[in-house]
A and B are shown apart, each in its own frame.
Chain A
């Protein structure tokens, strides 16, 4: 069974620190990996999409890397702000076109 693990489950940092969120998956035959943000009581906002042929994607303060051979992706958020507080979810797409999600990392950035 395909599995996605996100470590840590929760993270609290002071404002200004860089955030490092980890995602590991067991199926190396993925098509792409997507990082999402979820605010309490809200849906999912897509942050970055990395195709299987790519090693990383960047958007503003966000950078996501992908290493298929080791089954890992890392989301970096530079110079964190209180507004970055949310739950971050990674998900990969493999055969069948559905997304398989990790359990998420709950982030709190303290002012």
Chain B
């Protein structure tokens, strides 16, 4: 079956511009996560959605970052007024539910480069 998909695969933008990154989770998965992978920081958690519950935004690095999940499926991560330190690979993952025993399955990522 189809895995987690993300678009675009690569995004180059100029400093100060806004970007939107999209994630399509595995069908039927109610848990959705965003992570960021950068050279200096490794892989770090950004935000977690579980069903209709309020998202866990504790990993978002600044108020320039926001995410939404419409209809409990597709999610969009928005970065406003991008900075060069936002350059990283943004990874999305989904899980059957947020239950502690469930695996997370990752998408291929979006490589963001801010010039």
Task: Provide the main secondary structure of the chain A interface.
Answer: strand
Contact B43 A97 (CB under 8 A): no
Interface size class of B (residues with CB under 8 A): 20 to 34
Instruction: Pick from B45, B91, B109, B111: contact of A98, CB below 8 A.
Output: B45
| Chain B residues within an 8 Å CB radius of A34 | 103-104
Contact B104 A43 (CB under 8 A): no
Contact B100 A97 (CB under 8 A): yes
* A49 and B107 alpha carbons, distance in the complex (Å): 17
Query: Does B50 interact with chain A (Cβ within 8 Å)?
Result: yes
Contact A97 B98 (CB under 8 A): yes
Query: Does A64 interact with chain B (Cβ within 8 Å)?
Result: no
| A98 and B33 in contact, given A89-B43, A104-B42 (Cβ under 8 angstroms) | yes
| Chain A residues within an 8 Å CB radius of B91 | 43-44
| Chain B residues within an 8 Å CB radius of A51 | 101
Contact with B along A33-52 (1 / 0, CB 8 A): 01010000111111001010
| Chain B residues within an 8 Å CB radius of A31 | 100-101
| In the complex, chain B residues 85-115 whose Cβ is within 8 Å of any chain A Cβ | 91, 93, 98, 100-101, 103-109, 111
| Chain B residues within an 8 Å CB radius of A102 | 42
User: How near does chain B come to A44, taking the closest CB pair, in angstroms?
Assistant: 4
Of chain B, the residue at the smallest CB distance from A100 is B45
| Chain A residues within an 8 Å CB radius of B109 | 42-43
29 contacts between A and B (CB under 8 A): A31-B101, A32-B100, A32-B101, A34-B103, A36-B106, A41-B111, A42-B108, A43-B4, A43-B107, A43-B108, A44-B91, A44-B93, A44-B106, A46-B106, A96-B58, A97-B31, A97-B48, A97-B56, A97-B98, A97-B100, A98-B33, A98-B48, A98-B56, A99-B33, A100-B45, A101-B35, A101-B42, A101-B44, A103-B42
- Given A99-B33, A99-B45, A103-B42; 16 other pairs, CB 8 A cutoff: A31-B100, A32-B100, A34-B103, A41-B111, A43-B6, A43-B108, A46-B103, A46-B106, A49-B103, A89-B43, A97-B50, A97-B56, A97-B98, A100-B45, A101-B35, A104-B42
